[in-house]
């Protein structure tokens, strides 16, 4: 699905990605993990075409994406922070995004799932953070995109909405979607992901199943495994 070779990116004096190589199979849920500054956000933004790398290639379904844009029509992206005009009504925002993408979108089932009907005529500026996140999930999932990129998707969600989101992600996987997500919630990683992509200092430190990294580190507690890796890295620095 996604093949990355020699990906490098520098911002000023800071080398964020360092000749990173990565292969992501279609139909899997992959959790992208790593400490702050490890390159997670930059990696996501290069896949989305929001950041142009200094070197390296990214191919999706065998087609290189550098300096192209059409492929983005087939990606659903949930950013960590979404910014839309505060005076827009929810239904206006959904209609606007549908028009921009020029695709047939099914928002109705998602609106019903997250019980957003009472908010359709409310302006975004009057919504709580959790309700905004539900709206953002609708905008991300409504177009039946084969690739979903979710950056901290659970931010602000109440327990009921969180359960619905997890069920939705698992259903999307059953339908053959490829899903990348970032999170700091380790239990979510263990519950949803088929594999972990762990970045350290702009490179792939580990890619594989949860059982593999646990066995490699001789520890069944993923949270402790990650803490140990970060502690080792801190000592090396």
Predicted confidence at residue 236, as pLDDT, reads 63
pTM of this structure: 0.93
Predicted confidence at residue 67, as pLDDT, reads 86
* C-alpha distances in Å from residue 132, one per residue of 81, 159, 212, 221: 10, 15, 37, 33
At 93-151, the pLDDT tens digits run 999 998 888 777 789 999 999 999 999 999 999 999 999 999 999 999 999 899 999 99
Q: How large is the angle between the packed helices 129-141 and 159-174, nearest 10 degrees?
A: 10
Instruction: Give me the number of domains the chain comprises.
Output: 1
CATH code of the domain containing 74: 3.40.50.300
Predicted confidence at residue 99, as pLDDT, reads 87
Least confident of 62-76, 128-142, 168-182: 62-76
Predicted confidence at residue 194, as pLDDT, reads 96
* C-alpha distances in Å from residue 44, one per residue of 149, 163, 165: 8, 25, 21
| pLDDT band at 36; cut points 50, 70, 90 | confident
Domain containing 194 equals 2-236
| pLDDT band at 15; cut points 50, 70, 90 | very high
């Amino acid at each position: 699905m996604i093949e990355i070779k020699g990906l490098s990116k520098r911002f000023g004096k800071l080398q964020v990605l360092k000749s990173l190589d990565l292969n992501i199979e279609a139909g899997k849920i992959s959790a992208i993990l790593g400490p702050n500054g490890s390159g997670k956000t930059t990696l996501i933004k290069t896949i989305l075409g929001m950041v142009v790398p200094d070197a390296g290639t990214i191919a999706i379904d065998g087609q290189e994406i550098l300096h192209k844009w059409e492929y983005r029509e087939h990606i659903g992206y949930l950013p960590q922070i979404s910014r839309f005009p505060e005076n827009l009504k929810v239904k206006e925002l959904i209609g606007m995004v549908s028009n921009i993408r020029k695709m047939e979108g099914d928002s109705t089932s998602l609106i019903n799932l997250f019980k957003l009907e009472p908010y359709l005529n409310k302006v975004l500026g009057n919504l709580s953070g959790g309700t905004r996140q539900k709206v953002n999930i609708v905008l991300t999932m409504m177009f039946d995109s084969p690739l979903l990129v979710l950056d901290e998707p659970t931010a602000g969600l109440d327990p009921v909405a969180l359960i619905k989101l997890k069920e939705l992600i698992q259903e999307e996987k059953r339908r053959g979607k490829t899903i990348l997500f970032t999170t700091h919630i380790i239990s979510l990683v263990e519950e949803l992901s088929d594999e972990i992509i762990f970045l350290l200092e702009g490179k792939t430190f580990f890619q594989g199943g949860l059982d593999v990294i646990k066995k490699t580190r001789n520890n069944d507690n993923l949270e402790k495994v990650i803490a140990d890796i970060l502690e080792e890295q801190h000592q090396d620095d």
